[in-house]
Structure 1
Amino acid sequence: MMRVKDPQRSLEFYKFLGLNLVIKMDVPEGKFTNYFMAYTGPQSINGDKHFTDLQGTIELCHNWGTESDPNYSVVNGNTEPYRGFGHIAIAVDNIEAACKRIEDAGYPFQKKLTDGRMRHIAFAKDPDGYWVEIIRRAEQNLSATTDPSSYRMNHTMLRVKDAEASLKFYQESMGMALVRTVENPDNGFNLYFLAYPAGKENIQDGAHGNTEGLLELTWNYGTENQEGPVYHNGNAQPQGFGHICISVDDLQAACDRFESLNVNFKKRLTDGMMKNLAFVLDPDGYWIEVIQNERIKRTSNW
């Protein structure tokens, strides 16, 4: 979930990247609207499943009135002292053609393919300045064209203070599997990619570009030795990124399990008005929303 200033501009951008609006939720008591976007349809991994059963989803949260507030802006997670959330990543069929299409449409880049040493990735910027990494799918379209309906919402990147503690949490408490590690000692960081079993099925020969819903943890060497919190979770002021979300087979049972594992809660099922979701906290204080997978067990009228 990412907070946005002007939902129409944001929806236009993400639709341009091939994502479809799968559900819109107005919450008048909170004066906000959530827009859930995903790759659906014949060329997608997801097909036309219920939004709680999709492998990769982007949630855009619009607090009413921000679009006309000249003083409102979000932090994108990549500027000091508010670094934390890094980016989302879209895997495309032809990276050169996809980047040209984005540039021709007038959208800015944080990093073009030709910038720096890493010529295999680019970073576009959405209307709020969030970074969107553009990576190659494992199977490349060899023509000079690109088809956004074939793209994948590949991963979400979060910076973590202590790689060992975070990997332990996401594997043992959240049930994810470590599917790829990229060590970069020359630049002082490691990348860890985690997935659930459904996502692992689409990872071929170690290449993860064909799948969706991965979590990338970035660990910069030495941060584990710093005192106190290192990264901004996006929910303390100033705000931007909000949370990642997992859907589970049985919401009550999953929350009971988290309790038994002494996982920290931001919101239990019994807290507040929304009794059909919970929020737990990871070791860096990032929020993880927990919802029911409605395909497995129907509980809500979403």
Structure 2
Amino acid sequence: MDFKFVHNNINVFDLQKSLAFYDKALGLKEVRRINAPDDSFIIVYLSDNQTNHRLELTWLRDRTEPYDLGDNEIHIAFTTQHYQEAHQLHQQMECICFENEAMGIYFIEDPDGYWVEILPER
């Protein structure tokens, strides 16, 4: 059997805020949207336009409070050829939540508290 990654899903509290964040912070663009017939949910797939992997954002209409991410030990990761420029952008956005200079990586935090690891392309 062969398996390949298709997407990762995260639930978001404020879809517009999350879409704006992922566009500005990582350049991810919407490539597909599913609206529930009863408007109870919206699913949006984001792409980096370089790989086939997608980030799926799910918004639930009846959600009344932000998600509890527990210890938040789960994250997604991105590489970039423009690590210093990315770091400067994320500093300006004030979304860097952890840096490990010894490893040459840092993490940004999205509007829902999910962490995204940023690595230089090696």
TM-score relative to the length of structure 2: 0.88
Identify the residue that residue 231 of structure 1 maps to in structure 2: 67
What SS does the aligned partner of 1:197 have? coil
Aligned partner letter, 1:158: I
Residue in structure 2 matching 1:291, options 113, 119, 122 = 119
Q: 1:276 aligns with which of 92, 104, 108?
A: 104
| Residue 6 (structure 2) pairs with residue 154 (structure 1) | yes
Greater relative contact order (Cα < 8 A, sep 6+) = 2
Per-residue CA deviations over 1:226-283 (Å, capped at 9, x if unaligned) read 35xx2132525xxxx51111111122221112112x232211354xxx3411011000
Superposed CA offset, 1:142-179 (max 9, x none)? xxxxx41xx32010000000000000101122111110
**Identity among equivalent pairs (%):** 28
RMSD: 1.9
More strand by share: 2
Q: Confirm whether residue 192 of structure 1 aligns to residue 44 of structure 2.
A: yes
Matches of 2:39 and 2:89, distance apart in 1: 38
After superposition, where does 1:31-70 map in structure 2 within 5 Å?
Answer: none
What residue in structure 2 maps to residue 249 of structure 1? 81
- Aligned AA for 1:220? L
Q: Which amino acid aligns with 1:255?
A: H
How many angstroms apart in 2 are the aligned matches of 1:234 and 1:242?
Answer: 10
Larger-gyration structure (1/2): 1
1:266 matched to which residue of 2? Answer: 97
Q: Which runs of 4+ in 1 moved over 6 A?
A: none
Cα distance in structure 2, aligned partners of 1:231 and 1:216: 16
Letter in structure 2 aligned against 1:182: I
1:209-232 deviation digits (Å, cap 9, x = unpaired): xx3x21000000143xx35xx213
Give SS of 1:153's match.
coil
Does the Cα contact within 8 Å between 1:191 and 1:216 map onto a contact in 2? yes
1:215 is aligned to 2:55: yes
